[in-house]
Amino acid sequence: MKTRRHVAPPQRRRRLAAALTVAAVSSGAILVAQPALADTGGATDPWISQPADGVHRFTVPNSAVLAAVGTAPATVRVEGNFGPGHEMSLLNLDRSGNNWVANIGPLEPGQYYFQYEATIAGSETEVGFRNPDIPQTVTAQPTWSTFFVEGASAAWQADVPAGGELTTFTYDSVVQNGERSAQVWTPPSYDPDRAEPYPVLYLLQDSGQAYTEWTEVGRAAQILDNLTVEQQAEPMIVVMGDGTSSDVRTEVLDSLVPAVQEEFNASTDAADRAIAGIGRGATQALNLMVTDPGTFSKVGSFSGSLLTSISASRAAQVNAGTDLLRLYLGNVTDRSYNQNVALATKLGTAGVEFESDGSDPASGDVWETWQRALHDFAARVFTSPADHGMSEGHLALTEAHSLPAPGTTPTPWVEDNGVVTFETAEFATAKNVNVWANWGPSGGWLRIPMVRDGDRWRLTVGGLEGGSYYYRLTGDRVDRKDTGNPTVVNSEPNWSTFYVEGDTLRAQFTRDVAPEQRGEVTTMTYTSTANAQSRSAYVWTPPGYDADRAEPYPVLYLQHGSGQTWSDWIQVGRAAQILDNHYARGNIVPMVVVMSNGNGVDFPKEITDAIVPASLAAYNVSSDPEQRGLAGLSMGSGHALGTLWAKPGQFAYIGGFSAFSSPPANADVAAINAGTKLLSIYTGDMQDFTYQNTLSLVSAMESRGIVHEFNPPIPGPHSWDVWQKALIDFVPKLFKADTTSGIPVTASIAEGENGVLALTVADFGDGVALSAPQNAGDRLRLTGALPEVAVTDSRTAQQAGLGGWSVAAQAQAFTSAGRTIDAGHLGWTPRVLTPRDGLTAGDQVKTILDGGLGLAAPGELASANAAGRYGQAALAADLSLEVPVDIQPGQYTSVLSVSLFPVD
């Protein structure tokens, strides 16, 4: 960037930018290219690294902390826009030798701004600092630094080769009676001698910001570069002026605008002049629209307000002189939300014509909201857009937002669109109070500061992704339970839980189903092998569980981790909801799940001598090892695997989540393989502290010849987010015919001698090859077809009862050379080739790029009721693999497993 005064001749210099290359890909499957760390202020920050795809590591030397703070700190943190809705949040760093270290991620593509913060014990003073060896990048925030994470979803704000030019422009201010500065962006191929002058957009910053923050944090230059090179916006000059002035009207109209018109090839026609701003800057833009109608023909308000009244005559003048007035706003956490509701009412009552982009549900009054607003507004000024409605997914402003009166409801208060409010009357004398929860990327723990509100502390955040959450309150570094939340976690007395509705995988499988669809959770008491203690276990039985059924139910024994106990899978893991949802969708066979206490025992002895006998006595469960499963998380995975090594063949299905416990030298590999139908291993990513243990386990099993499946790592640390996803994936695999080898899949369920319910898949040769990728703008799409699936049902009415059948399928992740693309990128549209009454194709499964779950979760191909089940049915589906355009080329493969279920 260069600096110049407006009386000097124009000078130009191209801004350096990194090239973005899109390579060709082969069919079959492809991998999304992971983001790389951008430079900060033109220099790479050695305190930030990427130990794994999308995961960022902060490493701060203790010597630098001492230099910045002056004393040994109680805590060191990173404060950045990592939280839900890009809320400023605190990530704890842990002391490791001479450094303070923490990981976070995978981070979504976009701009990040942050500072380091140390807390001094006693005074609880929080001191912000940055790496002193990196140039200061945010003028108004000296301790802030920034970095950019590349990716398809942020391509519209990525660096552009040969983009426009950004200069610092100095001019004479009649208000200040001296020099002032502004930043000016000129478009690629800007021509100072072009016969047709360029239209001009003026941008004003919010209070507390510098005018340079538009580019330092907001990436305005990159947004404008991309719009221009993609021909989505008219080439224009964009002036980022300083709205901090005692008389902003005179500053803008009598100083800034004339200077820009003198120095640049800028149009003097009001029809070619636009103005917009953030917060205070938006209010200034709106005031100029009212006081000087027609001076700017296009006006944009980003989280702004208007305090002045508008008469009918002035409204007519505004309408005559304004071609476009468009309002932008974040969600209800935006501090100007109610002001914008009032603004829309005021404009409508006065008769002023305007457009509303509605409320952006993703974030509040943060740069991410304003970046999207600038992108939309700059594409509309000086063009004639066909669509004048709200951006996709935005919400109409219908009424002011209000919260319940303090102390009147349990907390937290959960609203639509992931908006959650916490409050507490604790910590009356504390200086710093936070909510510490698993709402960071992939379930990482982040603290968000609360704000004093009378005699209470309050915090409203949003929008949170759908799913289950757990949290605790901290005041001056002391943890406490939220006493306003009635939920209980026995193993963590300071924790509370809550659920947010949504469409994510965890949200769909951890939500409560209708009462009539729920299984029952009961408590089983048993005598432990540890000193004959009386212990407890939670037991989930499926809807319609029959204690007298002739055929005993298969049973899964599900274990907790270290520091946990038998109640955690229910109280935190929401295992009951996961099982309920799977059962309601027809994804699992009726089974019983026993969640017992594995602490302080010889577990192989405990499970076989105490837990299994107690469950056989209390519930109608099978004693056949082929109808038994054993799984657990962390320590519980060690228990499950230790039992497998010690007592092979006792449990045919084994699952390890965040797994360890390599096979001992004397393990009977032949017996293990012969007695195990499924050995499935899961782990978080490199943030999971057992990750290397899991890799060692898998390597050991491979070298020993132990048959197993190693599922792709689940993004996230050693946390319930990871373990819930593991359980969601694991339980549909239990107690079924082996389909792990992929298509072709054959499964049959015989019920008596005279009838059969069977599924076959047509010959598919070497596999299903998807088409070459087609560029669909924001994604590449590869298509194909599922081989024809045939279902034969010759059961008698007595055998089938009043039920029918259902066919579902689930895909594994696409893999190649250790790299993966989530199966959620694969969707389908089911079809019934033999239509008849009572036979119904399943719903279309959208990919994660369209807000769906893809076939990472089981998707229904078709179902038949009692009227439509009989005879033969031919089924098919159109497959679609959708990935972002910035992908890693390669040949990737997946396995699609198809299962048939009788439905009662």
DSSP string of 740-755, one letter each residue: TT-SS--EEEE-SSS-
Burial of residue 195, with CB atoms counted within 10 A of its CB: 0-12 exposed, 13-18 middle, 19 or more buried: exposed
Burial of residue 279, with CB atoms counted within 10 A of its CB: 0-12 exposed, 13-18 middle, 19 or more buried: buried
- DSSP, collapsed to helix, strand or coil, labels residue 311 as coil
Are the C-beta atoms of 219 and 148 separated by less than 8 Å?
A: yes
Q: How far apart are CA 123 and CA 557, in angstroms?
A: 50
The pLDDT of residue 800? 74
What are the DSSP calls for 322-363, one per residue? -SEEEEEE--TTSTTHHHHHHHHHHHHHHT---EEEEE-TT-
Rounded average pLDDT over 486-493: 97
Q: How far apart are CA 822 and CA 30, in angstroms?
A: 10
- State the pLDDT confidence band at 567, using cuts at 50, 70 and 90: very high
Rounded average pLDDT over 490-494: 97
Q: Is the pLDDT of residue 516 over 50?
A: yes
- 351-379 pLDDT tens trace: 999 999 999 999 999 999 999 999 999 99
Residue with tokens 């809550």: 498
Q: Is the pLDDT of residue 743 over 60?
A: no
Burial of residue 704, with CB atoms counted within 10 A of its CB: 0-12 exposed, 13-18 middle, 19 or more buried: middle
Reported as type and span, the H/E element at residue 375 is helix 367-380
Q: How far apart are CA 68 and CA 302, in angstroms?
A: 36
- DSSP, collapsed to helix, strand or coil, labels residue 682 as strand
Instruction: List beta partners, residue 499.
Output: 468
Q: How far apart are CA 383 and CA 296, in angstroms?
A: 15
Residues whose CB is less than 8 angstroms from the CB of residue 703 and which lie 6 or more positions away in sequence, other chains included: none
Least confident range from 175-189, 353-367, 667-681, 874-888: namely 874-888
Least confident range from 686-695, 709-718, 782-791, 809-818: namely 809-818
The pLDDT of residue 771? 84
Instruction: List beta partners, residue 299.
Output: 275, 325
The pLDDT of residue 739? 44
Q: How far apart are CA 461 and CA 440, in angstroms?
A: 12
Structure tokens at 271: 């029809």
Residue with tokens 């000059």: 237
Q: How far apart are CA 861 and CA 828, in angstroms?
A: 9
Residue with tokens 């319930």: 720
Task: Round the average pLDDT of the chain to a whole number and report it.
Answer: 90
Structure tokens at 650: 């006792």
Q: How far apart are CA 330 and CA 365, in angstroms?
A: 6
Are the C-beta atoms of 663 and 645 separated by less than 8 Å?
A: yes
CA distances 228 to 162, 188, 204, 221, 232, Å, are 12, 8, 21, 11, 6
**Residue 319 phi, psi dihedral angles, 5° rounding:** -65, -40
Rg of the Cα atoms in the chain: 31
**Omega before 412 cis (within 30°)?**
yes
Residues whose CB is less than 8 angstroms from the CB of residue 471 and which lie 6 or more positions away in sequence, other chains included: 435, 436, 437, 438, 439, 482, 495, 496, 497, 498
- DSSP, collapsed to helix, strand or coil, labels residue 656 as strand
Q: How far is CA 469 from the centre of its chain?
A: 13
Q: How far apart are CA 87 and CA 599, in angstroms?
A: 39
Residue with tokens 């943890």: 479
Q: How far apart are CA 738 and CA 743, in angstroms?
A: 11
Are the C-beta atoms of 211 and 183 separated by less than 8 Å?
A: yes
Structure tokens at 725: 């996803």
Residue with tokens 């976070």: 104
Q: Give me the helices (H) in 621-742, please.
A: 635-646, 669-675, 691-704, 720-730
Rounded average pLDDT over 444-469: 95
Are the C-beta atoms of 223 and 159 separated by less than 8 Å?
A: no
- 90-122 pLDDT tens trace: 999 999 999 999 999 999 999 999 999 999 999
Q: Crossing angle for the helix pair 337-350 and 312-321, nearest 10 degrees?
A: 100
DSSP assignment letter at 609? I
CA distances 880 to 28, 29, 761, 780, Å, are 11, 11, 19, 10
Q: Is the pLDDT of residue 29 over 80?
A: no
- 524-561 pLDDT tens trace: 999 999 999 999 999 999 999 999 999 999 999 999 99
The pLDDT of residue 742? 53
Contacts of range 746-754, beta carbons closer than 8 Å, 24 or more positions apart: 747/898, 747/899, 747/900, 749/900, 749/902, 751/795, 751/799, 751/800, 751/902, 752/795, 752/796, 752/799, 754/794, 754/796, 754/799
The pLDDT of residue 892? 77
- State the pLDDT confidence band at 857, using cuts at 50, 70 and 90: confident
Q: How far apart are CA 172 and CA 259, in angstroms?
A: 8
Burial of residue 741, with CB atoms counted within 10 A of its CB: 0-12 exposed, 13-18 middle, 19 or more buried: exposed
Rounded average pLDDT over 281-300: 98
Q: How far apart are CA 667 and CA 642, in angstroms?
A: 10
Q: How far apart are CA 704 and CA 248, in angstroms?
A: 76
- Evaluated on CA atoms 352, 355, 357, 359, the torsion sign reads positive
Residue with tokens 């056989």: 616
Q: How far is CA 604 from the centre of its chain?
A: 38
Structure tokens at 780: 């590449």
Q: Which amino acid is at 531?
A: N
Give percent of the chain above pLDDT 90. Answer: 79
Residue with tokens 């409203």: 460
Are the C-beta atoms of 311 and 350 separated by less than 8 Å?
A: yes
The pLDDT of residue 17? 23
pTM for the model stands at 0.81
Burial of residue 377, with CB atoms counted within 10 A of its CB: 0-12 exposed, 13-18 middle, 19 or more buried: buried
Q: Is the pLDDT of residue 33 over 70?
A: no
- 198-211 pLDDT tens trace: 999 999 999 999 99
Q: How far apart are CA 108 and CA 152, in angstroms?
A: 10
Residues whose CB is less than 8 angstroms from the CB of residue 421 and which lie 6 or more positions away in sequence, other chains included: 403, 411, 412, 413, 415, 458, 459, 460, 461
Q: Is the pLDDT of residue 265 over 50?
A: yes
